[in-house]
Structure 1
Amino acid sequence: MRTNIAGRLGTDTPLIKDLIGDIKKGEIKIPQFQRKFVWKEPQAFNLLDSIANNYPVGSLLLWKTQSKLTVERNIGDFKLPETDDLSPTDYVLDGQQRLTVIYSCFGANDDDQGYSIAYDLEKEEFTPNPVDQKLSVFPLRWIYQTTKLLNFRTGLASHNNALQLQERLDNLIDIVTNYRIPVVTLKDLTVEEVCPIFERINSSGTRLSTYDLMVAATWTQQFNLNNEIEEIANSLHPKGFGDIEGDAILKCMAAIKFKSVKRENVLSLRNLTKEEMDELVTSTKSSLLKSVDLLCTEFKLYSWDYLPYEAIIVILSYVFSNKKILSAEDIRDIRIWFWTSSFTLRYRGASDSFLSNDLKNVTSFIIEKQADSSLFGLRPGRNDLKKILFRSNNSSTRAYVLALACINPLNITNGSKIDTSNALSIYNKKQFHHIYPQAYLKRISSDLETNSIINICMLAASENNFISDQNPNEYLPKLIETLGERYEEVFSSNLLPLLTSTDYSKLSYEDFLELRSEIVYSHVIKLCSGEK
């Protein structure tokens, strides 16, 4: 249903002085979901030049509400006074950058931070305020400071061009003190009504997340959602999951509380009492810690960067909120769901409704044991795996890397153990190696895809340069000879073919892809069947 806000719009054209006064009284503030002040000096000069020429600088959009947003930023670098909860506040939805420059230049104190700009009366241009006061350079922050303004004007009398400079100063003061800025005010709209408007008019194209909405919403003084979410993220930091986003944690909370992650369910968390929220935060934190521990031990997943889908952590936290201790059968079922979902791209572009429905599927399959794994779709085919390209932001790539890590690969160069916890702590392409190097395949003008995951193995960064772009028909046989009796162990740990009827000195890239894809496929199917 469309919301008609025409009756709740107000328009006005206040003077700059009035806007500065409202800012100083704390009646105009910046909502938490606004971006930080980002304007550079040339942009500030352009704005001031427009004002000095009486050009329009655009309108401000304010939101007047009795609600108090829990987290607010000041105007630029300036700390604003607190106001009582009974006073309505005007939150800036559009025009923050312009308002910050105006306040910094005309309303701040002399020793405040921010833009301290002056007007050179001789050159008739704006300039950074000089450290040493010059006779003909007027600090804009004095424009509403009567004593300093009059003293400056009087001082101009000693200039050899006094009358002209005083006239220019008078013109500047007249324009600035009489300049009016159009203001549109939205009155008494809810957070949910205001945020779509903000997204439409925001020049940066900022899209507000549900987390932004929740943090912006009214909470009691005893409960600060932002602090609670940060505490949960910090608790996950030592385990490599400190980068978890606020939206993901909110979904975990909604899943645990409502068995749904739909937007309306997440937003309804605001209706819980402080006691209910405290209890939910504790439960979510505990469930997330257990989830991360399981991801580490069962799937060699040591970093948020390698998690195939956010949905996985949401569902796992829900599982742990319902079963504090998992049986061996539970963990096997989780392996089936995790690998099948990851390799079949189950959660790619998944809607909140889809994920909410899968909470029910997981309940039926893992918790209640009343359904089979067919709920999560067909397992990947061999040809599907061959088509996956090795890319750091690709969920299938992440799943493949984890699948390699699960068999504890050894360096093909010397048989030493690869520290997968280090290799997978953060994405680093030097930890992976093209078995048939891309440069080599380019030299022989191969038409086949060089970046297929089938052509990738794990390799310690220190060993990658050893292979470089060598001909695989030459370097692989040498490695086999060097490894000696450990050859089969090392190559098997990397899902590399153990050749009997032929050898690597004659193996084409096309034949290699065929042979290894069969081995990788068999390994993936075992994982999707719940085997370790």
Structure 2
Amino acid sequence: MSTQRYSVTPHPIETLLTWVKSGEIAIPEIQRPFVWESTKVRNLLDSLYHGYPVGYLIAWRNPTVKLKDGTPSAGKRILIDGQQRVTALMAGLLGREVLTKNYETIRIRIAFHPQTEKFEVANPAIRKDGAWIEDVAAVFAPDADLIDLTEEYVAKNPAADRKKVGKILQKLGKIVNNHVGLIELAEDLDIETVTEIFIRVNSAGAELSQADFAMSKIAANETYGGNMLRKAIDYFCHLAVAPEFLGRIEKGDKAFAASEFLPQMRWLKDVNDDIYDPTYTDMLRVAFTAEFGRGKLADLVALLSGRNFETRQYEDVIAEASFARLKQGILRFISKTHFDRFTMILRSAGFVTSDLIGGKNAVNFAYILYLRGRAENVPAAELEQLVRRWYALSILRGRYTASPETAFDFDIRQIADRGLLPYATSVIETELPESYWTGMLPQLMDTSSGQSPYFLAYKAAQVKLGDKGFLSRDITVLDLMMNRNDVHHVFPRKHLKTQGLTRGRYNQIANFVVAQSEINIAIGAKAPEVYFEELAEQCSGGAKQYGGITEREEMSANLRMSCLPESLLDGGIPAYDDFLQQRRKLMALKIKTWFEIL
């Protein structure tokens, strides 16, 4: 018995382009911006002209949905592989504008030389040279007349053979009769299978995910405003990184500028904060999970297709409601009030720069919690504390690092069943017992990764607790984070290298302190027993060599802030491994103190 769940049919290019123009095949308007170079468009046309194969297209017909009156409606075909090729054909042959990866709308003009039968990307020199037809789209225009085109060409090129030119232009015009294979996936395939196929067939070109498939699904829907919603997601992400892009949207996309979305995101033009620059995957995860109470994006694709999870049928009324809910979720995500307050909460926990933010999924779920809390009218002070603590818990326990979708789905369903505050409180108590701070965390801190969540949490703790930089009298860790800081090795790197220690050993996070670069430079490669003795002298009237602290009490307090034993000033320099063990325990206790005041 065959397991084949698809059919393969050759279709003339002309037919495929007609289907695209009529909407029978949906190419999401900005599913992914057109990423091909113009030379690839030229090469595609050249291959077609010479009769070479150009690969298969893969489409999936949306499941048939039941309309409100009970009648069935066959869905459009969604192109899940081949968008760039079809877009290239639309651009090259039909003169359609494309959106570049920089979100600029451009026309790609491919020129053709009838005498040499060469294609080239049009440029100023070609436009001036009458031997070239500067835009092949002229040959494929609905009102094009090959006799007229031949006469025009020969008038500009008297030496050209009229008959030969006519035949060549005829050959060029016939490339739309070339066949391309269309693989159509069975419409009764479940969403998960189609998603898997989508990711697999695209993996050679660019890394794609369920979020990409969801975006294709959204953009292909004009009935319920999916095409405009897709732009809202894309444009918000772009504006968060490049606020100056606003002018280009206003000028180049009048329809979007007139929509309800742009006024909701205009505030981004004045924002230079990069503490949370979401991607479209982040936006979809947050909006969907917060709004629908589900964590798996395959469920979003199913709901937007109209799937009734009870009956396993597809109903138009469910598709309509799902688009409306997703739109609501996106509007809540992009709200200035929500976004500002959420990023303010992150900063209030000590995560004041993007350098202190590790994985995005922990931030995403913290935003989901915030949005759910707002919707449930949780008092502001309680919600802020909850979000701070949950984010800290998430990074310290790696809650969303391995299988984020599964973890999102589990947590959001538990929140729905048990309530936001009771569930979050019980998880925090279970995941962060006393033994975590004194036993597990010091062991986890045996790492050399400067981007380790434990070191990021430690630096956030220093910011929140108002600590001064290592050996700084006035400069705080916050000042250093917001400007320039060095990570100084307490046992200097060069000093340890001379003892034969490897990178993974001398770069232990328990050997790192946050310091001013001038202090770091002044210490250089000196052994700790040397420079700590000089620090002790500095506090007894000796020369000021490192920073401005001259009082013993103040120096001891500064060492405590950096989780360093005060005995270092008395010449009690332990062996390096003993120092690391001692300091990991002190750093873990600082993180605990920080967590308790969040």
**Aligned partners of 2:127, 2:389: CA distance in 1, in Å?**
69
Tell me: CA distance 1:396–1:122, structure 2 relative to 1, closer, same or farther (3 Å). Answer: same
- Superposed, 1:44-55 pairs within 5 Å as 44-55=41-52
8 Å CA contact retained: 1:423, 1:460: no
**Map of 1:458 onto structure 2:** 514
- Superposed, 1:148-159 pairs within 5 Å as 148-152=148-152, 154-155=154-155, 158-159=158-159
**Map of 1:497 onto structure 2:** 565
Pair 1:212-2:215 in alignment: yes
Tell me: CA distance 1:260–1:376, structure 2 relative to 1, closer, same or farther (3 Å). Answer: farther
The structural deviation recorded for 1:492 is 2.0
The structural deviation recorded for 1:451 is 1.8
Pair 1:103-2:90 in alignment: yes
The structural deviation recorded for 1:454 is 0.7
**Aligned partners of 1:263, 1:524: CA distance in 2, in Å?**
34
8 Å CA contact retained: 2:386, 2:424: no
**Aligned partners of 1:338, 1:306: CA distance in 2, in Å?**
10
**Aligned partners of 1:136, 1:500: CA distance in 2, in Å?**
80
8 Å CA contact retained: 1:385, 1:517: no
Q: TM-score, normalised by structure 2?
A: 0.67
**Map of 2:499 onto structure 1:** 444
Q: Specify every segment of 5 or more residues in structure 2 that has no aligned partner in the other structure, as ranges.
A: 66-72, 98-104, 237-260, 305-317, 539-543
Which residue identity lines up with residue 39 of structure 1 in the other structure? W
What are the superposed Cα offsets for residues 159-190 of structure 1, whole Å, 9 maximum, x if unpaired? 1x637953873574376364333334558679
8 Å CA contact retained: 1:61, 1:186: yes
Kindly indicate whether structure 1 or structure 2 has the higher relative contact order, using CA contacts under 8 Å at least 6 residues apart.
1
Larger displacement relative to structure 2 (483-492 or 455-464): 455-464
SS of structure 2 residue aligned to 1:433: strand
Tell me: CA distance 1:369–1:182, structure 2 relative to 1, closer, same or farther (3 Å). Answer: closer
**Map of 2:27 onto structure 1:** 30
8 Å CA contact retained: 2:394, 2:400: yes
**Aligned partners of 2:171, 2:34: CA distance in 1, in Å?**
26
The structural deviation recorded for 1:354 is 3.4
**Map of 1:344 onto structure 2:** 397
**Aligned partners of 1:526, 1:449: CA distance in 2, in Å?**
27
**Map of 2:368 onto structure 1:** 314
Larger displacement relative to structure 2 (32-41 or 488-497): 32-41
- Superposed, 1:5-154 pairs within 5 Å as 5-6=5-6, 9=7, 11-14=9-12, 16-23=13-20, 29-31=26-28, 34-63=31-60, 91-108=78-95, 113-129=106-122, 130-135=126-131, 140-144=136-140, 145-146=144-145, 148-152=148-152, 154=154
**Aligned partners of 1:131, 1:198: CA distance in 2, in Å?**
40
The structural deviation recorded for 1:496 is 2.0
**Map of 1:292 onto structure 2:** 343
Which residue identity lines up with residue 53 of structure 2 in the other structure? P
Which residue identity lines up with residue 295 of structure 1 in the other structure? L
**Aligned partners of 2:354, 2:4: CA distance in 1, in Å?**
46
SS of structure 2 residue aligned to 1:11: strand
Cα RMSD after superposing both structures: 4.7
The structural deviation recorded for 1:30 is 2.3
- Write 1 or 2 for the structure with the bigger share of helix: 2
The structural deviation recorded for 1:132 is 1.1
**Map of 1:484 onto structure 2:** 550
Number of matched pairs: 502
Which residue identity lines up with residue 447 of structure 2 in the other structure? I
Which residue identity lines up with residue 453 of structure 1 in the other structure? I
**Aligned partners of 1:228, 1:40: CA distance in 2, in Å?**
26
**Map of 1:418 onto structure 2:** 476
